[in-house]
Chains A and B, each alone.
Chain A
């Protein structure tokens, strides 16, 4: 029985280091290759020894697919390809290919240069790794080899984020990566056609949440920022350089313009300008409105938002600062946070999800005293607000996607186990077109789904047309007819032809079956009369033996002549 096997090496009942192995139709595919933000040891990368104990991965994997540029989806890529060893193709979209190496380099710098770790991938490795990348376009069907094909769909999570359909013969799997079902200020909503995959592997970050309307959240956000600035406080918004940052920038930019505010807005790190430039060049990946108006006014040219310098953090007076990274686990955002944490006038707005183990996660859980490096503790006095701006689908969105794609089975990854459990129940209870079984494997646990593919066969057009014509001008689903044919199996080809044609092709002669039966009748009537009576009788009682009444008549006649 053919089956599909799915094994998460990362992101199984967890968020971080997404890495999922899929075996389908004899092909092995790795979906994403991310790192875990919450760990600094071996656990930060997926355990590739699951694939092979020693040696390179090339011969075990047919391809690697990266869904988007966030590090928890691509952070382990140079480690996997250069240090463990993989030379096959790596597929990602153009924007991902453009942005991914920059974030990797950033990650490397923080880890190696700042924290002084050794045994980490080098800049050259990132470059070598990117050489193995094959960029693809949305909806382009890429033939990885003769049998394996992949196709990307728009996912709307960040610039260039994509969902992937992986197909071998009639079996298929869809992997969503991270996606967003509600269009926001700069990206569109995820979309997929009714491709009916055998398994839909979906993220489930917000499995239990149904978020209120985007507008409310935005209004709330603006209000809080405005209030803080009015009373002279500083607002710190930790973000990742690309993605939410741009959405919030657009939001603040328009608000500042409308309210004629003067407080400065800063965007940290040199990435800003570059990041915005990517948005300008890949404007076809943003939402309809931005695409339509970009010739007149490019939304990513900001008037009020300026580059941040480290010295500004100590400036008096109100300001708003976007600083990277988004989970406060390292870098500039953490530095600024340390400076501002002691003042209750200031505010920290966390616009996205924080992985366990990060400073961001601790603060959001209400921790008021933080242990810093060197045994120092930090009192958190500033106000902390969490606002979910990260572009993941919520429970409603996940259901929506299921309805769009109509999968046979569901597999949840990239979420917390408890939340997944809830969503799993919900999916299994929900009345879809067909019932869906839902899986949520842990890391290293294999889920096997039995598929039942139909067998493709070549049918002779003559036979098909004859059968379809017999069914009347319109097919009638209520009254099916049986058709007869002969299946010829030869040199790996399966052809269905009419029995007559099969005999002819195979050079066989057909035996004619003829049944004769002698009956003596003593009948006073004339010959023709007798014949007529036999005919009527036979027609009533034995018509099924003869193909047609005419044939029966012929048989009778010939026999009669024989006898007389």
Chain B
């Protein structure tokens, strides 16, 4: 039992579990924070960005004017943004049998893994995960492909040169493994390998292992996974939430009795309370709109946005801002809103019962009907003519490096009336804003991360009592910014096994038993004898049949009577290799009968004494 850790990112995991004879990849997260080192991709020509000075080292020895640009003291790579992939060298990715996906944020690296590595296995995911994951991937591809960059910067990656670079760029790791975004073809091919599963569905892998997704409560169709055989159980907990938002609540009891629990995807902002943040979000939004400014919300096209819209649906009327338009701009905005309404089975009880009426589960259907919420595929086309200020714009990508949000940053950044409100916790907002500095616009940071916090997780672990816990290294120490907050780390007995990128952990349990089936005929022929009170023993002699990792014991076939041999035809069927049954020789020997028996047989004792002697022993 081994765990290969291909990603060090705690919320975008990618681990490979070798369990019995199977190789299982757990999630396939793509670390998009690497994009922050790059210049934003503007949708329309931006004079400000194109006029940024190139970077030349102080002594003038290194000149990377073409590749690196400087903005407010920070250096950015002027090329198509790249992403940091899971480690590909730690093990042969073509040996992976299955990939289990826990939620749509954790599958973004899938095309890199399933294409071009020789992967031939199956990917398991729930239907919402697949559909929304597809939308997010298509969105990413569209963002990249509609503003192609002529050149790709690579010189800066040279080790000698990177060493001389300033700031965060110098410390970026593994830059050679960074890759550009995939294509639509690769997305389609990767997703064609997905097999859909439902919560609590038991999926057999090669007869050896059973995997089961369980509701994790974090997003539509998000799941934790149980990987088990008859005797061992590994739980994989990734991105779970105990808050009541739109998804089905987290299923906890099935995680009990785990030998090993792999814990990833805890909240990235442990100090922020999602409810408080939502309140702050609303009040800041109202303040800006009242002052006549616009609000920009950089966000993913699915997930928290549904909750934000629902919250605003109630809030706007009560705040007397009912006439303010909401715009949701994304190539997949319409699909995302439509898809959210059809996954009734994956929603919380409250929303489910609405569907029974039948009414759409999310109130954004009503917002669209009453024209309060409008969605557009991009800022081009209808949007430019229908757009009315002041307004609230939801658009991606939250890294502020690509997507329509870049345009709004350029458009609204210069006015202090406008506000940008960050709700996604994946990116540091200061880093995200760096290439737009100096900025007059107000910035509000209201990260809403509904995933488990340390308090919830320690309570959960107390309930489900796993024997061992494996988690990313950052969870075993307080956050670097708050070294005294020992409550913001995992403290367990025995201490959790920590991993980082490229770790290989041996998981601490030994397999001792395997399930085997005795055929009814064999079971009937057994003669148990009681050795001690409550303990019976029977000797079994049988033929072992192993097929598809399932083992069956059959009775020993009686040797077929040898047919009168015809001369030229040889018997093709070989009789089973029969070994004599071997009884258990133990216990007290009844001396008298034994001697009597010996006496009786002593004359016939020959070189074949075993049968008679044995019968004596019984």
Contacts and interface: CB of A to CB of B under 8 A. Distances in A.
The dominant DSSP class at the A interface is mixed
B342 A513 contact: no
Given A294-B338, A508-B587, A513 B516 contact: no
B610 interface: yes
Nearest to A476: B574
A480 B609 CA distance: 28
Contact of A278 (B358, B579, B605): B358
A497 to B, nearest CB: 9
Contacts of B553: 457, 483, 496
28 contacts: A135-B345, A139-B198, A140-B198, A140-B200, A141-B202, A284-B342, A284-B345, A454-B552, A456-B515, A457-B517, A458-B230, A458-B516, A459-B551, A467-B544, A482-B543, A482-B556, A483-B542, A484-B541, A484-B579, A484-B582, A487-B540, A488-B537, A490-B535, A491-B534, A503-B584, A510-B584, A513-B613, A538-B607
Given A138-B198, A475-B547, A490-B534, 13 more contacts: A281-B358, A281-B360, A454-B523, A455-B517, A456-B517, A464-B514, A483-B544, A488-B535, A509-B586, A513-B610, A513-B613, A513-B617, A542-B608
A511 B358 contact: no
A496 B546 contact: no
Contacts of B356: 97-98
A475 B516 CA distance: 16
A384 interface: no
Across the A-B interface, the 9 shortest Cβ-Cβ residue pairs: A454-B517, A480-B543, A511-B585, A459-B516, A508-B586, A98-B356, A489-B536, A458-B513, A455-B518
Contacts of B587: 508
B538 A137 contact: no
Interface residues of B, number: 81
A94 interface: yes
B291 interface: no
Given A482-B578, A541-B607, A282 B344 contact: yes
A491 B533 CA distance: 10
A511 B578 CA distance: 24
A461 B200 contact: no
Contacts of A357: none
Nearest to A284: B342
B569 interface: no
A90 B302 CA distance: 34
A464 B543 CA distance: 12
Contact of B543 (A141, A295, A483): A483
Nearest to A451: B520
A259 interface: no
B581 interface: yes
B539 A457 contact: no
B537 A459 contact: no
Given A94-B344, A294-B342, A486 B537 contact: yes
Contacts of B338: 294-295
A277 interface: yes
B287 interface: no
Most buried by A among B523, B528, B534: B523
Interface of A: 94, 97-98, 135, 137-142, 151, 274, 277-278, 280-284, 294-295, 452-461, 464, 467-468, 471, 475, 477-491, 495-496, 499, 502-503, 506, 508-513, 515, 517, 538, 541-542, 545
A284 B127 contact: yes
B341 interface: yes
B321 interface: no
Contact of A545 (B334, B552, B576, B610): B610
Nearest to A513: B585
Contact of A455 (B520, B536, B576, B617): B520
Nearest to A286: B342
Interface string B345-370: 10000001001101011000000000
A454 B540 CA distance: 15
A140 B199 contact: yes
Nearest to B577: A481
A469 B582 CA distance: 20
Given A455-B517, A455-B523, A478 B586 contact: no
Contact of B537 (A464, A468, A506, A512): A506
B199 A499 contact: no
Contact of B513 (A489, A495, A538): A495
